[in-house]
Every structure is written in structure tokens, then in C-alpha cells.
């Protein structure tokens, strides 16, 4: 991980490798930084920018060596776009993307970032974006090369009263946990399986000096506890399932309690309803929901947020082994509901439903589940936007608003009561799969049945289907790397921080 340092001297005096400043506007394109640039620098840039035809699209970069008036070896100019806010600044998503793209363009060595900002959330976006853009995954390379543990200096124009150092420390905590979620997703599925995922969580909790507690339900405990959904999904694999409960509670007991439930399929072959190989290539990422939940709980504890958070990581491998589940099987879930299995590839909702039923037993104020649940959601919203469903309009809106603040893209989807009859089963209480049409919504409708307390009363619940944005199959863009993205951690932390 890079370290984030608050710039102390003037940016002109910063003598490291790469200094990042912004560019915006057209005719002429102008350079903008956290503070005014030295006169000689501004004059030089006025001369060269038109000649270079530097682009100002968000995240576009151009590199200049040895710029007069600056001590840095080189300058990366990064586009901030042309949208300005009411305060005359730039949208946080533009700052976040630009910082990430610039750090990636900077290559090796120390980096300093001087981008305009008007408040704490701007500065946080720049700092988080910078660390996020610096992310690489080299764990499986035999020769990873020199470590990228560099210093990233961020220049702030904010007064001391807004405590820019604290803003950077918080940003570093968020970014470190996002990177952990990405690492978990990127880790090869022969190495990350329910038990090894569990061990990582136990280690992180152990290092938290008592802030985090972990409880593990192993395969035997899951059978004894009546978790028929996750047991059924996991039984085709030689590597048995787990439900890991990871909790954080602040000292004060009078705080809201949020349950986070994460889909943690460490590999999804589809089971006996096996996927075609093209549909399986990215399925090591089918535990991205559980990774996001784990990272969020750890970050919430490190930031000492004034909310109690319990994460339920529903970990299983969906394999077509000799003992695998069949279509037609009927299983009994943790809450007693019997479910007819239609398609063993609709496994996510089965592990989540048991996790939600377990969460409901502790009477949380809200349940949020995070899951790479349906291809249908990717068809509906594309690869960068996650869908948000739920049984409570206010909570669903709170999630899309939190996503906005975190610069993660989301969109509400309905849970039409009319589609519920698609889940009717001739032999069990409910089937786990309905018609093909509206597949993201029927998955949501199935989960909704488990957002209930012991008396059958609804618990406020929202469902985040992150199948699209959890794994970037294309090239890096802005602050988003190739592979695991860590999506939803930012949204969940924003939501939790906003509860009280």
C-alpha cells in the first residue's frame, strides 16, 4: 500500500518524481491546481498547452518533463472535464477518477497531487482516487518486481479547521480496505475457498486488538443448524461451506444495528446445471459481495463509526461433484421455509437466504445484502452500474444516495408483486427461480421472503446486485483497475456513516 502524506511545503518546492496538476476548459485549456501555480510555471503552460493539444476529458493525461518553476522531475496533466459545481469546483467523481488515472500514468516513484478542491469530500475523493489508481495485484507473480510502496503526497488548500490530515487518514483506511476486497476477488479460486477466506478474516480480526469478533459456522454446524440452502449449494465441492459472522460494535450500545450479508461463492461453475466455459471465466469473482461486506465491517471498526455492524459471509463453492445438488431437490432453510431447487446455477440466493435468516434472528434495524447475483442485472444496467432493490423505499433511496456520495453508480429496480407467482412451487413452499424475464427482480423477490423476523414482520432490507461492476473485464479506467473493483465498500461506508 502507498502511504498518503499531506503536502507541507509549496508545490513548487516539492522535489519528487511526478507532480500531478489538472487541466480544464477549452480555448484556452488552462492548468489548475490546489493553489495558484508559480508565475513562470503558469506562463510556460500557457505556451505549451495549445501546442500539445492536451485533452481535458476526465482522466485524460499528458506528461511534461522539467517544467520551469517546479522542482518535480515531471508533471502529469490530468483532465478534470468541463463540469463545474455551484462552488466553482469540480464534481467529486471527476476528481476521484482524475487522481486515479494520473497516479497510474505517473509510473514509478514518488507522486504529489495538486488538484483544486473546495471541501473535505473533494479532498477525500482525490486521496481515495489516488490510492485506488495505484492498485496492482501481483500476489501470484513469481517475480512481482520492486514493491510499489510509494509515497503519495496530496496538497490541500483547506484551512486547518477542516483537519486535512484526518481527511487523508480516513481516506487511507477506506482505500486500504477497498484494496483488500479487490485482493480477495483477484485471488485465484484454487487458493481462495471457504476455509482460506475464513482464515483471512480471522487473521484480520485478530490484528484488530479486540475491535472485531469472528464466529465461524463450519459445515457440521451448518447442517446441525438447519442451513439447508448453503449446505445444498456447498455439497458438490470437496471444500465445505462456512458462514462467517464478523462484528463490530462501538462502546455506546444505543446505536443502530445494521446486518450486512454477502454472497461468497468462491467459484461458481453452475453446479450440475453447469455453465458454458465462457460464462465461467470470471466466476472466481462470485464472492465479491462477501469481500465487500468483510472490508466494510473492518473499515467501520477502524473508523470507529457510531453504528453496530455485523457481517455475514456466506461462503461456498458451487461445484458439480458426485454429491452435488440436483434440480428437483427440496431443501429446508434456516427459517424453516422449504425450497424447490430449479436450477443449481441460481445458488447465490440460496446461500444469501440462509445468511439473511440468521441475520434476522438478531433483530437488526436493517439488513443489506450484497451479491453478484444475476446476469440479468448486467443485461439491464450494463457492467458499471449496480442494481438496488428492497422492501423499504426510504432505505433503497438511502443506498442509491450513499452510492452517489461515494461516486459509485447505482440504480433502483422494482420488486413487482406480480412476478412473485413465478416462484410458486408445486411441491415446496417456494421455488428459488421464476421466469427468465425480470431475472434480477425475481431473485430479489425470493430474497425478500427472508427479510422477516420470527413473527413474519418485514425487516427493512435492501439488496445490492453488483454482478456488473464488481469485476472489470476491460482495461483500467479512472481509479478503477482491471479485475476486482471493491465496489459497494464505499457505498456501504457512506450509508453507515450517515445513519446517525
> In the complex, which residues of this chain contact ligand BES (CB under 6 A)?
268, 286, 343, 345-348, 372-376, 378, 433, 439, 467
Give the one entry of ligand BES, Zn ion, Mn ion, none that residue 113 binds, where binding means its C-beta sits below a cut-off of 5 to 8 angstroms depending on kind.
none
Stretch that binds Zn ion, among 165-173, 285-293, 383-391, 485-493 (CB under 5 A): 285-293
Count of residues binding Mn ion (CB under 5 A)?
Answer: 3
Least separation, in Å, of the C-beta of 159 and Zn ion? 49
Cell 485482493, residue?
Answer: 183
Q: Which is nearer to ligand BES, 307 or 346 (CB)?
A: 346
Integer angstrom CA distances of residue 444 from 69, 76, 132, 202, 370: 58, 45, 31, 30, 11
Least separation, in Å, of the C-beta of 465 and Zn ion? 11
Give the one entry of Zn ion, Mn ion, ligand BES, none that residue 343 binds, where binding means its C-beta sits below a cut-off of 5 to 8 angstroms depending on kind.
ligand BES
Integer angstrom CA distances of residue 78 from 84, 106, 111, 309, 366: 16, 11, 13, 38, 41
Q: Which of 93, 128, 268, 369 binds Mn ion (CB under 5 A)?
A: 268
Asked, as a colleague might, if the bond just before 37 is cis with ω within 30 of 0, I would say no
The yes-or-no answer on residue 160 being catalytic is: no
What residue is closest to Mn ion based on CB? 345
Q: Which is nearer to Mn ion, 99 or 445 (CB)?
A: 445
Least separation, in Å, of the C-beta of 485 and ligand BES? 12
Instruction: Give how far the C-alpha of residue 390 lies from the chain's centroid of Cα atoms, to the nearest Å.
Output: 19
- Sequence-separated (6 or more) residues with CB below 8 Å from residue 27: none
Q: Sign of torsion, CA 121 125 127 128? A: positive
Out of 275, 384, 420, 482, the active site residue is 275
Angle at 409 between CA 386 and CA 4, to 5 degrees: 120
For residues 204 and 201, give the distance between their C-alpha atoms in angstroms, rounded to a whole number.
5
Least separation, in Å, of the C-beta of 378 and ligand BES? 6
Contact 102, 477 (CB under 8 A): no
The yes-or-no answer on residue 275 being catalytic is: yes
Q: Which is nearer to ligand BES, 156 or 186 (CB)?
A: 186
Q: Does 270 bind Zn ion (CB under 5 A)?
A: no
For residues 245 and 311, give the distance between their C-alpha atoms in angstroms, rounded to a whole number.
6
Q: Which is nearer to ligand BES, 155 or 193 (CB)?
A: 193
Q: Does 345 bind Mn ion (CB under 5 A)?
A: yes
Site string for Zn ion, 341-380 (x = CB under 5 A): -------x--------------------------------
What residue is closest to Zn ion based on CB? 268
Give the one entry of Mn ion, ligand BES, Zn ion, none that residue 217 binds, where binding means its C-beta sits below a cut-off of 5 to 8 angstroms depending on kind.
none
The string of DSSP codes covering 472-484 is E-S--BTTBPSEE
Least separation, in Å, of the C-beta of 355 and ligand BES? 15
Q: Which is nearer to Mn ion, 60 or 423 (CB)?
A: 423
Least separation, in Å, of the C-beta of 312 and ligand BES? 18
The residues that bridge with 311 in the sheet, in sequence order, are: 246, 260
Contact 231, 241 (CB under 8 A): yes
For residues 367 and 362, give the distance between their C-alpha atoms in angstroms, rounded to a whole number.
11
Among 168, 136, 176, residue whose Cα is nearest residue 152 = 168
Q: Which is nearer to Mn ion, 324 or 360 (CB)?
A: 324
Reported residue count of the chain is: 500
- Sequence-separated (6 or more) residues with CB below 8 Å from residue 357: 333, 334, 335, 450
Q: Pick out residues in 329-348 that bind Zn ion (CB under 5 A).
A: 348
Q: Which is nearer to ligand BES, 219 or 268 (CB)?
A: 268
Out of 150, 349, 396, 433, the active site residue is 349
Least separation, in Å, of the C-beta of 195 and Zn ion? 19
For residues 13 and 41, give the distance between their C-alpha atoms in angstroms, rounded to a whole number.
12
Q: At what angle do helices 489-497 and 164-186 cross, to 10 degrees?
A: 140
Give the one entry of ligand BES, Zn ion, Mn ion, none that residue 433 binds, where binding means its C-beta sits below a cut-off of 5 to 8 angstroms depending on kind.
ligand BES
Cell 498547452, residue?
Answer: 49
Catalytic residue numbers? Answer: 275, 349
Q: Which residues bind Zn ion (CB under 5 A)?
A: 265, 268, 286, 348
Amino acid at each position: 500500500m502507498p502511504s498518503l502524506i499531506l503536502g507541507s511545503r509549496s508545490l513548487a518546492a516539492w522535489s519528487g518524481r511526478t507532480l500531478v496538476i489538472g487541466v480544464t476548459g477549452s480555448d484556452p485549456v488552462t492548468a489548475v491546481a490546489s493553489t495558484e501555480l508559480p508565475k513562470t510555471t503558469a506562463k510556460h503552460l500557457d505556451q505549451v498547452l495549445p501546442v500539445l493539444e492536451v485533452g481535458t476529458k476526465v482522466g485524460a493525461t499528458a506528461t511534461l518533463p522539467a517544467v520551469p518553476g517546479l522542482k518535480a522531475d515531471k508533471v502529469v496533466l490530468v483532465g478534470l472535464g468541463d463540469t463545474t459545481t455551484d462552488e466553482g469546483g469540480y464534481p467529486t467523481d471527476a476528481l476521484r477518477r482524475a487522481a486515479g488515472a494520473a497516479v497510474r500514468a505517473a509510473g514509478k516513484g514518488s507522486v504529489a497531487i495538486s488538484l483544486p478542491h473546495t471541501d473535505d469530500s473533494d479532498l477525500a475523493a482525490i486521496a481515495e482516487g489516488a490510492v485506488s489508481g495505484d492498485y496492482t495485484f501481483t500476489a501470484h507473480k513469481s517475480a512481482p518486481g520492486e514493491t510499489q510502496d510509494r509515497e503519495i503526497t496530496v496538497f490541500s488548500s483547506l484551512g486547518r479547521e477542516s483537519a486535512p490530515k484526518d481527511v487523508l487518514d480516513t481516506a487511507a483506511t477506506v482505500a486500504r480496505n477497498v484494496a483488500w476486497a479487490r485482493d480477495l476477488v483477484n485471488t485465484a479460486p484454487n487458493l481462495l475457498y471457504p476455509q482460506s477466506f475464513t482464515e483471512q478474516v480471522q487473521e484480520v480480526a485478530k490484528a484488530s486488538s479486540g475491535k472485531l469478533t469472528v464466529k465461524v459456522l463450519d459445515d457440521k454446524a451448518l447442517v446441525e443448524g438447519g442451513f439447508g440452502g448453503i449446505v445444498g449449494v456447498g455439497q458438490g465441492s470437496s471444500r465445505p461451506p462456512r458462514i462467517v459472522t464478523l462484528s463490530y460494535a462501538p462502546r455506546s450500545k444505543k446505536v443502530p444495528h445494521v446486518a450486512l450479508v454477502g454472497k461468497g461463492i468462491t467459484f461458481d461453475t453452475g453446479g450440475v446445471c453447469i455453465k458454458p466455459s465462457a460464462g465461467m471465466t470470471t466466476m472466481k469473482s462470485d464472492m465479491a459481495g462477501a469481500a465487500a461486506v468483510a472490508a466494510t465491517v473492518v473499515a467501520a471498526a477502524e473508523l470507529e463509526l457510531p453504528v453496530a455492524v455485523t457481517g455475514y459471509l456466506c461462503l461456498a463453492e458451487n461445484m458439480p461433484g458426485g454429491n452435488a445438488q440436483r434440480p428437483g431437490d427440496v431443501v429446508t432453510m434456516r427459517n424453516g421455509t422449504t425450497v424447490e431447487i430449479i436450477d443449481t446455477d441460481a445458488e447465490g440466493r440460496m446461500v444469501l437466504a440462509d445468511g439473511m435468516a440468521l441475520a434476522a434472528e438478531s433483530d437488526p434495524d436493517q439488513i443489506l445484502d450484497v451479491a453478484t447475483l444475476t446476469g440479468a442485472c448486467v443485461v439491464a444496467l450494463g457492467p458499471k452500474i449496480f442494481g438496488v432493490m428492497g422492501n423499504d423505499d426510504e432505505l433503497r433511496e438511502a443506498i442509491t444516495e450513499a452510492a452517489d456520495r461515494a461516486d459509485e453508480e447505482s440504480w433502483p429496480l422494482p420488486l413487482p408483486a406480480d412476478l412473485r407467482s413465478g416462484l410458486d412451487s408445486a411441491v415446496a413452499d417456494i421455488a428459488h427461480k421464476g421466469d427468465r424475464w425480470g431475472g434480477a427482480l425475481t431473485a430479489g423477490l425470493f430474497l425478500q421472503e427472508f427479510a422477516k423476523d420470527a413473527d413474519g414482520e418485514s425487516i427493512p432490507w435492501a439488496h445490492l446486485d453488483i454482478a456488473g461492476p464488481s469485476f472489470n473485464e476491460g482495461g483500467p479506467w479512472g481509479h478503477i483497475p482491471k479485475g476486482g473493483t471493491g465496489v459497494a465498500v464505499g457505498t456501504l461506508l457512506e450509508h453507515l456513516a450517515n445513519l446517525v
